[in-house]
Copies of this chain bind each other. A is one copy, B any other.
Amino acid sequence: MELDERNKKVLQAVIDSYIASGSPIGSTVLVRQYDFGVSSATVRNIMAELEEGGYLTHPHTSAGRVPTDLGYRYYIDSLISIENDTDDIEDQLRQTPPPHKGDIQELMEEASRFLATLSHCAGVVIAPSEPEGQYKHIEFVRLRGKEALIIFVTGTGTVQNKLIELDEHISQQELNYFGSYLDEQLQQWSLHEIRQRLVDKMREERLGFTQLMEETYRASQEVQGRDAEKVYIGGASQILENPEFASVERMRSLFKAFEDKFKLLKLLDRSAAAEGIKVFIGAENPYFEMQGCSLVVSNYRVGKNVVGTLGVIGPTRMQYKQVIHVVDYTSKLLSKLLGERFQGSLEK
């Protein structure tokens, strides 16, 4: 269904007004607030058309109109760019202290809180996966008995470690030897390649470190995914400020959903592939059965590589314009902050 210019204007007005007030919008209120140059009766007719088109609904006969998911969709896709009054949020952006450098974990936590504070919704950040899994250094440390620790240091300064158990009784010297052997290899090869080469080496040469290699291989695989699995949720209580979550039942299910971070991960990961900002409205969210929630997601990158996802979860009735702006800003900010760290490692 095509919308003519006037209908668009009314739809936008209804949604803007509804987002601002939270209660259904009636024709009289609308003409008083916006100046369409027509009477409320005409607006009523237009609204009826929009309802027929599926953009608006009625909670009940004698109530005003409320946007549907489709309405929001249209709003996001076609209407939101018409005007660009994001000055107020721009101010807030400048006033809110940005996440600062430090521990990667802290950075992620702060970023999620940053998102939450500015959007008044829950902020979500998925930790960066190491780009191409380049390691700068691999270290073996003997612990008691058969146990040893493999330490992976990435170019970004992230350190991962994994406890392994060795069958044979390998001395620290031997471990050091193997470690420096690996280090040498690391000068040329990415983790992915090393994995391959390790397996190859194991077949052709019968090195004494067969088992150790095998363990290292496994450990690197596990360690690889570990960071990427981390989901940081900040300011979840922000979302409760919203009147639509006044019902205890909804609140509870929302928080249950937050606790199941794995699902969230899947949800966000799904959108990581595409470029730019994505908005998922209400029932469009596949894994997130929570009704009445929207999602604004983007991803952040280092250089050309997308390394992580971040976004905002809030009620369907959220301040899309501002939230989109905030998410966009944060993703660029995070990319920049991470870029400063990664730079060195890429020129290795």
Contact = CB atoms under 8 A, between A and B. Distances in A.
Contacts of A245: 248
B240 A252 contact: yes
Given A144-B345, A149-B153, A259 B240 contact: no
A15 B344 CA distance: 64
Interface of A: 136-137, 139, 141, 143-145, 147, 149, 151, 153, 155, 157, 159, 161, 163, 235-237, 240-241, 245-246, 248, 251-252, 255-256, 258-259, 343-345, 347-348
A143 B159 contact: no
A258 B259 CA distance: 13
Contact of A147 (B139, B149, B157): B157
15 contacts: A136-B143, A137-B141, A139-B141, A139-B151, A141-B153, A143-B344, A144-B343, A147-B157, A151-B153, A151-B159, A235-B259, A237-B255, A237-B259, A240-B248, A255-B255
Contact of A248 (B145, B147, B155, B251): B251
Instruction: Please give me the 5 A-B residue pairs with the lowest Cβ-Cβ distance, nearest first.
Output: A144-B344, A237-B255, A159-B161, A240-B252, A237-B256
Contacts of A248: 240, 245-246, 248, 251
Contacts of A155: 143-144
A119 B42 CA distance: 60
Contacts of A151: 139, 151, 153, 159
A345 B163 CA distance: 14
A143 B155 CA distance: 7
Contacts of A149: 153, 157, 159
Contacts of A236: 255, 259
A61 B153 CA distance: 68
A149 B259 CA distance: 33
Contacts of A147: 157, 344
Contacts of A241: 252
Contacts of A348: 144
Nearest to A247: B248
Contacts of A259: 235-237
Contacts of A258: 237
A136 B248 CA distance: 50
A137 B139 CA distance: 11
Nearest to A344: B144
